[in-house]
Amino acid sequence: MSDPWPYNLPIFRRSYRAPSPDGSDCAEITGAYEVSMSNPTYGTLHTASGLVLEYCSPSFIWSDDSRYLAVPQFFMRLKVFRRQRMVIIDTEARCGYRSLEVAYYYQPENFTAGALTAIVEPFKTKKMIQWQVPECFGAFSRFVPPWNEEATSRVVTTATSRSGIETLDSGGV
């Protein structure tokens, strides 16, 4: 039996793993926690290529060319989580871009042909927003996220989890 709405939305996941479309990388959040009671969850995002990004929603998505990873990230103000920014990681350039626009919650839905589509406030207004990548980066804030240089970017094809997603051999991810 699945959880009742809205707890069945991706922003409420307790963990999530997604290999890149070309299979060269994999992103994962394990052990996500509620932002506050009965609210969406957050955790630390790790990739096989070494990215480590804290306070991320377990609702993330790869671009169809596997270059970009889009993930909503909470930020703190006065030591309290207030809102999210959409973060787009360029895995080739090893840099990230944060939207200047903020929302209580973003839920990425599609990332095809450079167009990232997300729902803003998925359990309230369900307004859609779209960014054209990389053209939108001029309106985003660039940053350099931490990368674990010792991570290996190798997805193992011999073992499969119950969900059918390939497992990852990356020394801890």
DSSP letter (8 states) at residue 4: P
What is the residue-wise DSSP string for 72-99?
EEEEEETTEEEEEEEEEEETTTTEEEEE
Confidence of residue 35 (pLDDT cuts 50, 70, 90): confident
Backbone angles phi, psi at 100, to 5 degrees: -80, -30
Confidence of residue 81 (pLDDT cuts 50, 70, 90): low
Residue whose structure tokens are 């996220």: 145
Taking the domains of the chain in order of start, what are their residue ranges? 10-168
pLDDT in tens, 150-159: 776 544 433 4
pLDDT recorded at residue 125: 81
DSSP letter (8 states) at residue 32: -
- Range 31-59 average pLDDT: 92
Region of 86 on the Ramachandran plot (φ > 0 left; ψ -120 to 50 alpha; else beta): beta
- Range 98-104 average pLDDT: 95
pLDDT surpassing 80 at residue 3: no
Contact of 80 with 123, CB cutoff 8 Å = no
